[in-house]
Amino acid sequence: MGHSKKHRGMKSSTGWDVPPPEALRAPAGFDLAAFDRHSTPGWSHGRGKAEKLVAHHAGELSDLQERLFAEGRSGGSRSVLLVLQGMDTAGKGGIVRHVVGLVDPQGVAHRSFGVPTPEEARHHYLWRVRRSLPRPGYIGVFDRSHYEDVLVVRVDELVPKKEWEKRYDEINRFEERLVESGTSIVKVALLVSPEEQKKRLLERLDRPDKYWKYNPGDVDTREKWPAYQEAYQAVLDRTNTEAAPWHAVPADRKWFARLAVSELLLDALRRLDLGWPPADFDVDAERERLRAT
């Protein structure tokens, strides 16, 4: 890599061939059917080095998270929202445990979105989402999200087509306003192959310690795989905006997905250029007062 790519060169010391946000961003015209879910875009060093790098990121991630939290406590308005979407077994929970788990849980606002409760169902679909947004200073994590309202809802026709059709634009406007108000959104589609999903589901049946994760309904969802892929393709086509772009993360290798998401989260935090809030008191005077006690 030449000197003209000095900054990239700096990043390449961490092992990536291409900066991860660039390697993982879903390009315009992204073709989901052609996407290799076993690949490791931008990364050619295998598992061991990837795991070391994730561990290495822990320090910087927690430092930046603490700065963000401090800023929020000092009147700042910024926050980060990580949106995780993926089919069953794609590894959303593992990302939360292994990547988000690297930072202080007190600064994380985690929310998973399941079938709407009766109360949620009485409201607009974005109602429960708005109530779950990270407050200033927090890293919000959505395990599933408002995208379910154009995924499962579309596939299972839970509302008429003319209803869900309107939602793509509505979601774009919603996210754009969110970004304007100071939330950096990191959208991640964790893309697992149908073969790998089958393996992971079968493993759940082979292991008593995994039964609790098995849901017979997952097989019904799996049987609708092509309809889900079509719905995911529509999401990637219609909600891949400048304000809140999608990242396509191959999820057949868990170690890669974890490395990828740790990099994307780190990138979002780095771009905030976070400092430490200045003292809103007279440091010298306070030191004197304490000395006198």
Write out the residues near ligand ADP by the rule CB under 6 A.
Answer: 112-116, 144, 148-149, 152-153, 158, 215
With beta carbons less than 8 A apart as the criterion, state whether 151 and 121 touch.
no
**Residue type at position 195:** E
Comparing CA positions, the residue from 80, 48, 43, 78 lying closest to residue 188 is 80
DSSP bridge pairs for 185: 81
Residue 225: strand, helix, or coil: helix
Would you put residue 267 in left (φ > 0), alpha (ψ -120 to 50) or beta?
alpha
With beta carbons less than 8 A apart as the criterion, state whether 190 and 84 touch.
yes
Nearest approach, Cβ of 36 to ligand ADP (angstroms)? 24
Name which of 6 and 122 has its Cβ closer to ligand ADP: 122
Name which of 9 and 217 has its Cβ closer to ligand ADP: 217
Name which of 12 and 112 has its Cβ closer to ligand ADP: 112
Nearest approach, Cβ of 139 to ligand ADP (angstroms)? 20
DSSP character at residue 278: P
Name which of 148 and 196 has its Cβ closer to ligand ADP: 148
Alpha-carbon Rg of the chain, whole angstroms? 21
Name which of 10 and 115 has its Cβ closer to ligand ADP: 115
DSSP bridge pairs for 186: 82
With beta carbons less than 8 A apart as the criterion, state whether 243 and 176 touch.
yes
Name which of 114 and 160 has its Cβ closer to ligand ADP: 114
With beta carbons less than 8 A apart as the criterion, state whether 47 and 254 touch.
no
Name which of 15 and 116 has its Cβ closer to ligand ADP: 116
Closest residue to ligand ADP, judged by C-beta, is: 114
Tokens 């399941």 sit on residue: 114
Nearest approach, Cβ of 233 to ligand ADP (angstroms)? 17
Structure tokens belonging to residue 260 = 């990828």
Nearest approach, Cβ of 235 to ligand ADP (angstroms)? 13
Nearest approach, Cβ of 125 to ligand ADP (angstroms)? 6
Nearest approach, Cβ of 202 to ligand ADP (angstroms)? 17
Nearest approach, Cβ of 108 to ligand ADP (angstroms)? 18
With beta carbons less than 8 A apart as the criterion, state whether 151 and 144 touch.
no
